[in-house]
Amino acid sequence: MTKNKLIKLFKSNYLWKWNLIGILVGIIAGIGAIIFYTLLEHSTLYFLGFGAGFYPPKPGVINFSWIKPENPVNLIIVMVAGGLICGFIVYTFAPEAEGHGTDAAIRSFHRESGKVRARIPLIKTIASAITIGSGGSAGREGPTAQISAGYGSIVADLLKLSTKDRRLALAVGIGAGIGSIFKAPLGGAILASEILYKRDFEAEALMPALIGSVIGYIIFATYDGYNPVFNFPEVHISAYQIPLFMIEGIVCGIFGLFYVFLFYKMHKVFSDLFNKFKLPLHFKPALGAFATAIIVVFVAETFDPAAGYGALGMGYGFLQLAMYNALPLKVMLVLAIIKIIATSLTIGSGGSGGVFAPGLVIGGMVGGAVGMLFHIFFPDTVPLSVVPAFVAVGMIALFGGISKAPISVLIMICEMTTNYELLFPGMAAVALAYMVTGDYTIYIEQVNTKADSPAHRDEMTVDVLENIKVGEAMVPAEKIVTVSPNETLVEIMKKIESTGHLGYPVVENGKLVGIITFEDVEKVPFEERAKVKVKGVMPKRLIVTYPDETLEDVLRKLIENNIGRLPVVDRNDKTKLLGIITRSDVMKAHARVSCKIG
């Protein structure tokens, strides 16, 4: 089989194409997740560990011991240094790598034809590892989404995919990256379809995302182990507790609204401040890091170390403690509020990191506090052993509500805890949180539905054209003015002036032999037109269409050949003229059907 045949098979066969793309994106995303994860671990060790003497608890293990910073001043210095380095890297080499990353990937899908600059994965990897590793309150999901989206875009460019396929490859990259690093392949794959819209799904991305996410997960888990992200205790949930989880969902929705409001308020404050005083943007993340450090140290030293220092970095270790009832009620409540403030300052100031992990920590702490209150007031209904379920359901409800991705977040938390009893209370809670948050989202680049996406407007036009046959829109043969190949160009010009038509089928003895247009006539000098006949200038190659072809096929032929009309012929006899169709006919048919749909 020749190379050209292989390429043709690849491009024409949906399953072959997207299986291959899913595998390629999954491999690159899995390797990228390993690189990012390793760099993040080393960054945390050197900045927070060696630099500030802070060794937070780790998720996935039952170890309640952790070491708070030896000297709070060192912590402040480390965090500001991390902000300075991040600001220099981002605003010097790739300003679009600032912030939480997921929005940049979503924007690229909807508004930038799925294109991501090749340097973004590298810059985002380094900047995010430094931001989080130096104590910035952020997560690894946003960077992973943007990094893996970049890999998907690169694969699309290498395979010379169309714009539509490049966007889908980008979405597959998002799912593969998140499914890998969170060890949640099913949730990650669904997230690729769900995260792009508030009220819709990108269904075409789902199947390749499943492949890419599984491949990426296997590669990453081979490196880091197949244990889930969190070590979750055995919990048994009863049906009569479901109403309490629904109440939790409402509370989490309210906290989610506060998170979204403060997050974008801080982003505006920092932007306005630096614009007003014309300050170099390179220093913006450092200012956010300084403000975060001051607040965290103040709360830690005056109230409780866990309530303050738990807001640093991703915070998954403290979420792990909450899952084993190792944090008091007041600490969980304060930590939820401080985490919102710290995340808003870190990412709102331009620090590089995601909002997913902070959202889970905030939701988990709010859920844990709600569960503990239920335990205090209704100890028989909510024993202490069930409180961890409120922590996990809080994670689902709060972030599922504000991300507008309730299904994928629900499944991801079940995968991250390997506890599928959370499905039913999680479903009830996240549905109510989703209702409470309404149209408010942490991802402002999301659009409501495909109809609101610039990426799909042209595709929707094509979809309409694909449903209209040429035979429905053409001008039939009996209404067409035809010409003879022996007519002169002067005669053709007279017909153009009298009818207003710029092109005519050429018919001889009842058979179609060509087409002549105003452009063809214009190529002949004026003084020669009386002598030159149609057959001498009409194109040798006749491009035609058939009644059973779609208007999308016609439009493609018109554009590819830069012509304005096509003769419609019988498939079994290409000399039998059935009609003619022009660009104007295509537009009229599209407008007619669109009005009916509207």
- The residue extents of the domains of the chain are 12-456, 467-597
Q: Which of 59, 443, 446 is nearest to 256 (CA)?
A: 443
pLDDT digits (tens, 9 = 90+) for 57-114: 999 888 788 999 989 999 999 999 999 999 999 888 878 667 667 888 888 888 887 7
Looking at residue 398, what is its pLDDT? 97
Q: Which of 141, 153, 129, 151 is nearest to 101 (CA)?
A: 141
3-state SS, 226-290, equals CCCCCCCCCCCCCHHHHHHHHHHHHHHHHHHHHHHHHHHHHHHHHHHHHHHCCCCHHHHHHHHHH
User: What architecture is domain 467-597?
Assistant: Roll (3.10)
Name residue, tokens 């130096």: 134
Q: Are 260 and 442 in contact (CB under 8 A)?
A: yes
pLDDT digits (tens, 9 = 90+) for 158-168: 777 777 888 88
Give whole-number Cα distances, 390 to 366, 368, 384, in Å: 9, 5, 10
Please check the confidence at residue 406 and state whether its pLDDT lies above 60.
yes
* Least confident among 227-231, 534-538, 551-555: 551-555
Taking the C-alpha atoms of residue 417 and residue 232, their distance in angstroms, rounded to an integer, is 6
Residue 15: pLDDT band (50, 70, 90) is: low
pLDDT digits (tens, 9 = 90+) for 270-292: 989 888 888 888 899 999 999 99
Taking the C-alpha atoms of residue 218 and residue 222, their distance in angstroms, rounded to an integer, is 6
Please check the confidence at residue 575 and state whether its pLDDT lies above 60.
yes
Looking at residue 114, what is its pLDDT? 77
Residue 5: pLDDT band (50, 70, 90) is: low
Residue 414: strand, helix, or coil? helix
Give whole-number Cα distances, 413 to 117, 231, 383, 397, in Å: 31, 12, 22, 10
Looking at residue 55, what is its pLDDT? 94
Are 12-456 and 467-597 equal in CATH topology? no
Q: Are 389 and 425 in contact (CB under 8 A)?
A: yes
CATH 1.10.490.10 fits 12-456, yes or no: no
pTM of the entire structure? 0.77
Residue 467: pLDDT band (50, 70, 90) is: confident
Question: Which residues have a Cβ under 8 Å from the Cβ of 343 and sit 6 or more positions away?
Answer: 137, 138, 259, 263, 311, 355, 358, 362
Residue 318: pLDDT band (50, 70, 90) is: very high
Taking the C-alpha atoms of residue 507 and residue 383, their distance in angstroms, rounded to an integer, is 90
Please check the confidence at residue 496 and state whether its pLDDT lies above 60.
yes
Please check the confidence at residue 409 and state whether its pLDDT lies above 60.
yes
